[in-house]
Amino acid sequence: MASKRSAKSKGLGLSTKAANSPSSSTTSSSMQFLETSVDGLSSPASSSARSKTPYSFSESVPLDAKENVAVTVRFRPLNPREIRQGEEIAWYADGETVVRNEYNPSLAYAYDRVFGPTTTTRQVYDVAAQHIISGAMEGINGTIFAYGVTSSGKTHTMHGDQRSPGIIPLAVKDAFSIIQETPNREFLLRVSYLEIYNEVVNDLLNPAGQNLRIREDAQGTFVEGIKEEVVLSPAHALSLIAAGEEHRHVGSTNFNLLSSRSHTIFSLTIESSPCGKNNEGEAVTLSQLNLIDLAGSESSRAETTGMRRREGSYINKSLLTLGTVISKLTEGRASHIPYRDSKLTRLLQSSLSGHGRISLICTVTPSSSNAEETHNTLKFAHRTKHIEIQAAQNTIIDEKSLIKKYQHEIQCLKEELEQMKRGIVSVQPKETGEVDFVLLKQKLEDGQVKLQSRLEEEEEAKAALLGRIQRLTKLILVSTKAPHTTRFSNRPGPRRRHSFGEEELAYLPYKRRDLISDDENPDMHVNLEGNTETADDSFKEEKKTKKHGLLNWLKIRKRDTGLSALSGTSDKSCGAKSVSTPSTPQAETVNNLESRHSHSLPAQSSPADLISVAREDKEFYEDSLLGQETPLVSIKSIDEIDLLREQQKILSEEVALHSSALKRLSQEAARNPQKYQIHSLTELMTQLNEKSFELEVKTADNHIIQEQLNQKIHECESLQETIGSLKQQLADALELRNFSPHHFSVTKDYHGEPHLDKESAMITNTNEKILLQEQASEIEGMKQKLAELLESKEQLELRNQKLAEESSYAKGLASAAAVELKALSEEVAKLMNQNERLSAELAAPKNSPAQLRNSGTGTVRNARRESHVRRNDHQGGSNSDIKRELASSKERELSYESALLDRDHKEAELQRRIEESKQREAYLENELANMWVLVAKLKKSQGADTDV
Ligand SMILES: Nc1ncnc2c1ncn2[C@@H]1O[C@H](COP(=O)(O)OP(=O)(O)OP(=O)(O)O)[C@@H](O)[C@H]1O
């Protein structure tokens, strides 16, 4: 527990560092706020908000110290596009713990650790993830998130590429290394992989598992019907991720050519118990490790349309809810926490509410164009730091755990086997301890005879039992090292670093995604300082010869073609990948455990059945990942058969050897009782038992191998049959082709039906004729179908092109209409202002005659009144003056009236134009919608064509 007690410092050991960081003297309010959080005093995650744990633990032992969420920030280098656009550095890593704003140096945030753009993912893993993984292996739930705006490097951090594996492969590898270095415990690992796409939960390990429901029971939230698979090796787990990645939603946006359009959660459930027979009643630890690659939030600057916009709004909404939940958790008073507002927060309820360790890795870009988004990410990270957690070690004492179930079953089977064995050899020492060698000899001989005969009878049953034990044992992972006396918590010190085998990372893109997408400058890597790093020659050489990773291929394959066309970038790897379709071993390696409520194995399908195909051979995955084709299969089968035959031979020899050894032993015992007197009877018995057990095991193995051999022979036979029938078909077809030009020709009658000419009718009998006619018509029909298909494909392509053109035209029209509309509305606003002013002017004299007198200008009536007043005032004025005045006022009146009319006209005209543009806009929208429908239909029909 010592290691756990120091969990906080072990977590990252950076709390004090943050406080002592250069920025701690900063006076900005954000810094002051932060320093409080770094001290871990102001994180009042309300206990009422904490949900139940995902499993019903008999015991949940809280660790001594409370911890905060480990928050780290990772900068990515400026990408070639940003460099080309001359973008500047807006935020930078100031030391190991501070992020500072370039333009406003007092604006700075401190975190547990800040990684600069040259940091490797391995370094990030060591600081931000390793302690979560080792905690999970000890029974403490753990969650690692990557959060950040689109294209900031979340997937790069979580998945990585083959040159730089991400947190997920590193964590998987580390988990298995920990098992290897913990010889005194047995482990059982199972994984699930899901995505939340447009607020729908999909099972990435099971394509049929779409739109799964999140349920809640006494134990917390869970996804109903999600598939969990028991994993046996890192390669096995990574192959499952690869299979899952095939189904993940990825698309191109104008910020990222391969943007993740969904949040993914990769969960590793770990059960462990002490090794050995006497672990009955010993507690099993159970924990869950969630590795989450969030989709990136999208700024309003993203010029997305249709589907992408819809996805973006779902992504933003769920991330907003995540932000709200985190704010509420740190508010310091028990308020309602809206976990239910999004699927993401609902699924993460247990983790977020403080049960288990959390590590948040915020990925950011330093570029000035994203300064605002980066600031938002930094604020989010800052808030999250305040969540307080109380990690606990989860233990189950009952038999509910899967590992217990398996252990129990193995024990029962072993006992059954032992009983069988005892039924055959029942030599017991005399209770008095005296050695009766004559009796012993007799019994040995009897036993041997019995053993021989019973062995044959019970061979089958035992073989099945042994096979089952072996397979079950395979599922429980144990270290290959000798067990030692250390307790679980005192695992040996730092672990050896394991490098990845090629096949294990085959699913990852071979190189960074920006390099894949940047067609202008494929090998350029630009770091924060703006230095250009060119990939070394060997890498280039390798690049030529190696295939792209599975993930890469899959993501590219799934990309929306229409949008990639709009973005104007082509993908070189796309074509290359479409040549060889990688397959995943999913279908064959399934140890299905449907949902956490279905861990108990169904009566009719024993665990042995479930795992019968769970072969963890490295070769197997390699083969599966490389997607070998049928001809190779038969060659492989033949090889395997040979191998099995060899093994069988060896085993038979061993059986014979052991039988003769047994015989010799018993004979010797009979001949030379003195010698055996030296040994104690128990020793002899043990030897005998061991030998007979070995013999049984070998026989069982032999039996299994024989079965496998038979199976392979069957397979081979069926393959040969298929080959034969194919050969026959080919020969027939060739014959037909060779035959037709010389002996008959297929012509069409007036109904358009193909038939044979007279010559052929003469040389073939009626049956042949019918057959040939049928075949000919079939060929003709297929040709026609092909031609039709080609034609419809062409038509579809044309239509597609036309639609794309129309769509871009419509887009142009829509933007022109929008500009026009804007101009019109400005004009309308102007006119309305003018109108208002005029009305005010008109209304003023009406309402206040006094004003009229003062103003001396105004409406006609005002003018009349004015003149009248003047007349009264200047009675002595000449008539001509008055007349002139009257005339001028009339003129003025007329001009006002005409201005008013003019204005009315203009207003009516504008109104009409507004109406028109509104109609046009509606029409265009309608057209656009129709076009999208057509595009969708087109895609569907294209898909159907491809299937055909
Ligand atoms: N630390 C880094 N070093 C080098 N390249 C990086 C780094 N982080 C990201 N990149 C590159 O930047 C590009 C975008 O990264 P990535 O796809 O991981 O972003 P993202 O945040 O997952 O985006 P989205 O949310 O759209 O899926 C990729 O080409 C990736 O290779």
Span 932-946, pLDDT tens digits: 888 888 877 776 665
Domain C-terminal end among 587, 618, 643: 587
- Is the CB of 295 within 6 Å of ligand 1? yes
Whether 622 has a pLDDT exceeding 80, the answer reads no
Whether 715 has a pLDDT exceeding 60, the answer reads yes
The answer to whether 474 and 714 have CB atoms below 8 angstroms apart is no
pLDDT at 167: 96
Tell me if 148 is assigned to a ligand binding site. Answer: yes
| SS3 assignment, position 714 | helix
Indicate whether 823 and 694 sit together in one domain: no
- Is the CB of 259 within 6 Å of ligand 1? yes
Indicate whether 323 and 424 sit together in one domain: no
CATH assignment of the domain containing 561: 3.40.850.10
Mean pLDDT of 74-86: 91
Indicate whether 720 and 815 sit together in one domain: no
**Dihedrals φ, ψ of 632, to 5°?**
-65, -35
What is the Å distance from ligand 1's center to 158 Cα? 10
Ligand 1 atom nearest the C-alpha of 260 is 27
DSSP for residue 113: E
Whether 662 has a pLDDT exceeding 60, the answer reads yes
Residue 638 counted as domain residue: yes
The answer to whether 91 and 366 have CB atoms below 8 angstroms apart is yes
* Assigned token pair, 65: 């110290």
Indicate whether 296 and 412 sit together in one domain: no
More confident residue, 677 or 784: 784
**Axis crossing angle, helix 130-137 with helix 121-128, rounded to the nearest 10:** 50
Q: How far apart are CA 480 and CA 494, in angstroms?
A: 18
Q: How far apart are CA 779 and CA 15, in angstroms?
A: 77
Whether 922 has a pLDDT exceeding 60, the answer reads yes
What is the Å distance from ligand 1's center to 450 Cα? 70
- Is the CB of 152 within 6 Å of ligand 1? yes
Residue 125 counted as domain residue: yes
pLDDT at 617: 36
**Binning pLDDT at 50, 70 and 90, where does residue 667 land?**
low
* Assigned token pair, 941: 């029909």
CB atoms within 10 A of CB 15: 20
ipTM tops 0.95: yes
More confident residue, 790 or 458: 790
Indicate whether 161 and 26 sit together in one domain: yes
Mean pLDDT: which of 63-72, 413-422, 865-874 is highest? 63-72
* pLDDT over 90 percentage in the chain: 16
- Is the CB of 227 within 6 Å of ligand 1? no
Indicate whether 909 and 842 sit together in one domain: yes
- pLDDT (tens digit per residue) in 18-56: 333 333 322 222 332 233 232 332 222 222 222 333 333
Mean pLDDT of 381-385: 88
Residue 598 counted as domain residue: no
More confident residue, 663 or 83: 83
- Is the CB of 263 within 6 Å of ligand 1? no
What is the Å distance from ligand 1's center to 77 Cα? 9
- pLDDT (tens digit per residue) in 153-184: 999 999 998 888 999 999 999 999 999 888 88
Residue 440 counted as domain residue: yes
Question: How many domains would you assign to the chain?
Answer: 3
Mean pLDDT of 300-316: 71
Strand 70-75 and strand 357-364: the pairing is: parallel
Ligand 1 atom nearest the C-alpha of 75 is 1
- Is the CB of 256 within 6 Å of ligand 1? yes
* Assigned token pair, 155: 């997937």
Cα torsion at 746, 748, 753, 757 (round to 10°)?
A: -50
Indicate whether 406 and 393 sit together in one domain: no
Tell me if 152 is assigned to a ligand binding site. Answer: yes
Strand 284-293 and strand 392-396: the pairing is: antiparallel
Ligand 1 atom nearest the C-alpha of 148 is 21
Mean pLDDT of 356-367: 92
Mean pLDDT of 756-779: 66
| SS3 assignment, position 70 | strand
Tell me if 10 is assigned to a ligand binding site. Answer: no
What is the Å distance from ligand 1's center to 175 Cα? 25
**Binning pLDDT at 50, 70 and 90, where does residue 748 land?**
very low
What is the Å distance from ligand 1's center to 160 Cα? 9
| Residue with the two structure tokens 């988990």 | 175
- pLDDT (tens digit per residue) in 93-102: 999 999 999 9
What is the Å distance from ligand 1's center to 115 Cα? 15
The answer to whether 689 and 448 have CB atoms below 8 angstroms apart is no
The residue type found at 44 is P
Indicate whether 861 and 919 sit together in one domain: yes
Tell me if 149 is assigned to a ligand binding site. Answer: yes
Among 154, 156, 164, the mutation site with the greatest number of ligand 1 atoms within 8 A of its Cβ is: 156
Residue 739 counted as domain residue: no
Q: Which residues contact 128 (CB under 8 A, 6 or more apart)?
A: 12, 70, 72, 112, 113, 144, 167, 359, 361
SS3 letters across 460-523:
HHHHHHHHHHHHHHHHCEECCCCCCCCCHHHCCCCCCCCCCCHHHHCCCCCCCHHHHHCCCCCC
Among 75, 151, 261, 556, the mutation site with the greatest number of ligand 1 atoms within 8 A of its Cβ is: 151
Indicate whether 459 and 509 sit together in one domain: no
What is the Å distance from ligand 1's center to 79 Cα? 9
Mean pLDDT of 413-419: 69
What is the Å distance from ligand 1's center to 535 Cα? 17
Give the closest residue (by CA) to ligand 1 atom 9.
153
Domain that holds residue 205: 2-399+496-587
Give the closest residue (by CA) to ligand 1 atom 10.
153
- pLDDT (tens digit per residue) in 191-220: 999 999 989 999 999 989 999 999 887 667
Give the closest residue (by CA) to ligand 1 atom 8.
153
The answer to whether 756 and 742 have CB atoms below 8 angstroms apart is no
Among 76, 154, 559, the mutation site with the greatest number of ligand 1 atoms within 8 A of its Cβ is: 76
Q: Which residues contact 518 (CB under 8 A, 6 or more apart)?
A: 79, 80, 81, 524
More confident residue, 514 or 255: 255
- Is the CB of 248 within 6 Å of ligand 1? no
Residue 939 counted as domain residue: yes
What is the Å distance from ligand 1's center to 593 Cα? 34
* Range of weakest confidence among 4-13, 384-393, 863-872: 4-13
Indicate whether 378 and 456 sit together in one domain: no
Ligand 1 atom nearest the C-alpha of 512 is 31
The answer to whether 257 and 273 have CB atoms below 8 angstroms apart is no
**Dihedrals φ, ψ of 477, to 5°?**
-90, 130
Q: Give CA separation, 86 vs 21, 78, 83, in Å.
A: 31, 10, 5
pLDDT at 738: 58
Domain C-terminal end among 724, 747, 770: 724
Residue 446 counted as domain residue: yes
Domain C-terminal end among 587, 616, 645: 587
pLDDT at 711: 77
Mean pLDDT of 695-700: 69
Q: How far apart are CA 387 and CA 58, in angstroms?
A: 26
Mean pLDDT: which of 14-23, 339-348, 589-598, 782-791 is highest? 339-348
What is the Å distance from ligand 1's center to 86 Cα? 19
Ligand 1 atom nearest the C-alpha of 152 is 21
Q: What is the DSSP string of 242-263?
A: HHHHTTS-EE--SS-TTEE-SE
* pLDDT over 70 percentage in the chain: 51
pLDDT at 819: 76
| Residue with the two structure tokens 């993914």 | 264
**Binning pLDDT at 50, 70 and 90, where does residue 2 land?**
very low
Give the closest residue (by CA) to ligand 1 atom 23.
151
More confident residue, 602 or 855: 855
What is the Å distance from ligand 1's center to 840 Cα? 61
Indicate whether 387 and 429 sit together in one domain: no
| SS3 assignment, position 363 | strand
- Is the CB of 153 within 6 Å of ligand 1? yes
Q: How far apart are CA 585 and CA 243, in angstroms?
A: 8
Ligand 1 atom nearest the C-alpha of 256 is 26
More confident residue, 257 or 385: 385
More confident residue, 878 or 901: 901
Strand 200-203 and strand 185-197: the pairing is: antiparallel
DSSP for residue 149: B
Q: How far apart are CA 408 and CA 231, in angstroms?
A: 20
Residue 740 counted as domain residue: no
- The mean pLDDT of the chain is 67
Indicate whether 6 and 114 sit together in one domain: yes
Give the closest residue (by CA) to ligand 1 atom 7.
76
Mean pLDDT of 736-750: 47
Tell me if 151 is assigned to a ligand binding site. Answer: yes
Mean pLDDT of 321-346: 83
- Is the CB of 249 within 6 Å of ligand 1? no
- Is the CB of 297 within 6 Å of ligand 1? no
Tell me if 568 is assigned to a ligand binding site. Answer: no
DSSP for residue 861: H
- pLDDT (tens digit per residue) in 215-250: 887 667 889 999 999 898 888 899 899 888 888 877
What is the Å distance from ligand 1's center to 38 Cα? 29
What is the Å distance from ligand 1's center to 120 Cα? 13
| SS3 assignment, position 92 | strand
Give the closest residue (by CA) to ligand 1 atom 15.
153
pLDDT at 516: 43
More confident residue, 124 or 779: 124
pLDDT at 664: 67
- pLDDT (tens digit per residue) in 839-850: 777 776 555 544
Whether 15 has a pLDDT exceeding 80, the answer reads no
- Is the CB of 156 within 6 Å of ligand 1? yes
Closest by CA position to 339, among listed 38, 141, 45: 45
pLDDT at 858: 44
Angle of CA points 105, 108, 113, to nearest 5°: 130
What is the Å distance from ligand 1's center to 517 Cα? 11
**Binning pLDDT at 50, 70 and 90, where does residue 656 land?**
low
H-helix or E-strand spanning residue 828: helix 766-847
* Assigned token pair, 914: 């507004």
pLDDT at 94: 92
Whether 125 has a pLDDT exceeding 50, the answer reads yes
